[in-house]
Structure 1
């Protein structure tokens, strides 16, 4: 988390310098809509993808600070990933945290999202987006349950599948698959933007039966690097 904060402080300082160097700039639009395709990569052969539609509105007279909304279809895959106990009432104590090894996870989500941006100029912007509510789906996978409390009363191998409901509640209270992005963007043309930054696609699997502590939900929290292309068909 400290390294991530340093990274974004550096980006902020960089774009402030770019802004100061701008001699003249065109007026920023009050409303902007984009189609966006994003691809991310991380550890353990993890890979994310997303297709979204979003609209942002400029605030105040400059339109530089922007807020918006949209809808996003996202997916996440990986290989032999350790999902840990998800419910917030269990994650506060190491003694109640178990592990579910999912062999070949592939989860997907369709969710509404919100966006926050600061557009330094017509060429550069810094932003954040996050899923708020939606549905999850994906393939059922053979998983291995790892727990020091399992002395034979729970199966070691069982089926699990992506949780079906996504909801942003904050921290470990979250449910399902929620994707968020911290990014910088550069305008390749009047209609096209190139985005890049950090992708956090938190995914969740539900087991076919309750295990220790009456829990059947397990979460994986990767941090990936992503690139995306946004296109504004109406600009």
Structure 2
């Protein structure tokens, strides 16, 4: 084992403990922003860092999500950060399901209250094809979900920033902001000669669950 690998090994094992009964939980979340709504079911597992970082927990998650709207929503050319009519299409009542795995972390504050975030990394999306306003072409959810940062992201990804409250050691309540990235693809190039179109939504959400 090289020096760098040995150093990483000892740092990793010094700060992170892996108890036989690690902290686990299941949460159900609902978020909305006036135009769209999002549901999700999350299974997660936390590992507590060792002293002096024992107020920090890191872990992984598996999330099943649904992003939908009864409205016709604008989706913008995925290769551009600019929002304009020339670079956008309007999808009728989008509805996307996604199954992702990702990371989660929280910092313990006081009185069973924590500040936390989670982030989808990779997964798969599915859903029925949707009509597009003023064109016979249909759009379908982009199947591959992959976090590549900002406009480079692919598919449908969710990240949450929230306050976390543990009640009576078993009940979990969360509230915060969901940053939801959804993407549709078309077989025929449309606005700005693109086949990939995305929408970024910021939703306020509430969640409850169990901790075991």
- After superposition, give the CA deviation of every residue in 1:59-108 in whole Å (9 maximum; x if it has no partner): 13252111110111011001111111112xxx156789611101100001
1:126 to 108, 112, 115: 115
Q: 1:230 to 1:92 in 2, by over 3 A?
A: closer
Task: Quote how far apart the aligned CAs of 1:189 are.
Answer: 1.7
1:77 matched to 2:56? The reply is no
1:86 matched to 2:75? The reply is no
Larger deviation, residues 224-233 vs 128-137: 224-233
- After superposition, give the CA deviation of every residue in 1:29-64 in whole Å (9 maximum; x if it has no partner): 9631101111111122x1100001101111132521
- After superposition, give the CA deviation of every residue in 1:92-136 in whole Å (9 maximum; x if it has no partner): 567896111011000011010101210114510010001000001
2:131 to 142, 157, 160: 142
TM-score (normalised: structure 2): 0.83
1:211 matched to 2:190? The reply is yes
8 A contact 1:135–1:165 mirrored in 2 = yes
Please give the residue correspondences for 1:89-100 in structure 2 after superposition, counting only pairs within 5 Å: 91=80, 98-100=87-89
- After superposition, give the CA deviation of every residue in 1:121-172 in whole Å (9 maximum; x if it has no partner): 4510010001000001112110126xxxxxxxxxx34200111000000000
Partner of 2:34: 43
CA distance in 2, matches of 1:115, 1:137: 24
- Which residues of structure 1 form unaligned runs of 5+? 1-28, 146-155
8 A contact 2:76–2:87 mirrored in 1 = yes
CA distance in 2, matches of 1:212, 1:123: 49
Q: 1:122 to 1:94 in 2, by over 3 A?
A: closer
CA distance in 1, matches of 2:145, 2:107: 27
1:53 matched to 2:43? The reply is yes
Higher strand share: 2
8 A contact 2:179–2:202 mirrored in 1 = yes
Partner of 2:149: 170
1:66 matched to 2:57? The reply is yes
Partner of 1:115: 104
